Amino acid sequence: MPLNDIQRAEVAAIRETTQPTYREVAPALEEILYKPIPLLDHGFIRVIDYMGTDSAIVQAARVSYGKGTKKVSEDAGLIRYLLRHRHTTPFEMCELKLHIKLPIFVARQWIRHRTANVNEYSGRYSIMDREFYVPAPEHLAAQSVSNRQGRGDVLEGEEAARVLEILKEDSKRAYQHYEEMMNCTEEGVVLDEGKQGLARELARMNLPVNFYTQWYWKIDLHNLMHFIALRADPHAQYEIRVYAEAMLDILKRWVPTTAQAFQDYRMGAAELSAQGLDVIRRRLRGEAVTQETSGLSKREWEELMNVLGA
């Protein structure tokens, strides 16, 4: 379930109460505030709070020059200039706080982005939910033969059915043993009055990494865009990519001008090396450049040709 009963009651109570504010808000983001966006089979993202909008970026950038409010078109031009030339500090003036529910193996990959403030659900103090991730059949792929961290062809037939069976059986068995070691159920009901039960902080070690965890994750806009650029990329792992794509939609609601510039100059752009740029210049002059005469490795050449659509 996306939210438990207590969380749903909290959301309903908060959304029923409105407060006047002097700060600038993002109306499109306010529409989804606190609401969970379902992801994978049991996961979600929901916006808890935010600080700043597109205008906060402009305000921070212009403070050095002592200029006042400009026209919307001029503000957009400034934001695009800042992003295009990698002036990152003004984007750090905006922050976003998210509540995220995700599989543990995705969380371990996610935490490599050490530019956020994180507070995770504790299996030492609370009992872990009986919820675990099982890939949809179309995402059950074999190991790629050309990429050590990628996927190949989708498994089919009996092979796929057996993998799904193993994943489900192992997860259910692990949780059953987790409850048995603690001598209580997920709801806290004691199984055997005569047993003390293992400490929660020890019992949890037997749970596999496809079980779900939750955390609050607060990050500034500059580092959020860096996260999205890496994790919404088609080469990123599917399970973390769906979260990054949802965050891109949140970005569009929050700071639409910045989001458009980000898509133009980061998501939809390509970075060229000095050698790659030289290849393009030589080709524009009519020179027949090959990989052997380009100064690029075979892999770099293939990447450049993919960018050029050649």
The phi, psi pair for 144, rounded to 5°, reads -65, 140
208 DSSP assignment: -
Chain centroid offset of residue 21 CA: 30
Q: How far apart are the first and last CA of the chain?
A: 47
146 DSSP assignment: S
The single residue of 46, 204, 231, 253 carrying the catalytic annotation is 231
Strands 151-154, 141-143: pairing is antiparallel
Specify burial of residue 133 (Cβ count, 10 A radius: 0-12, 13-18, 19+).
buried
Task: Write the single-letter amino acid at 87.
Answer: H
- Contact assessment for residue 121 and residue 216, using Cβ atoms and an 8 Å cutoff: no
C-alpha–C-alpha distance, residues 150 and 103, integer Å: 18
Catalytic site includes residue 266: no
Strands 95-103, 43-51: pairing is antiparallel
C-alpha–C-alpha distance, residues 188 and 179, integer Å: 9
User: Known catalytic residues?
Assistant: 231
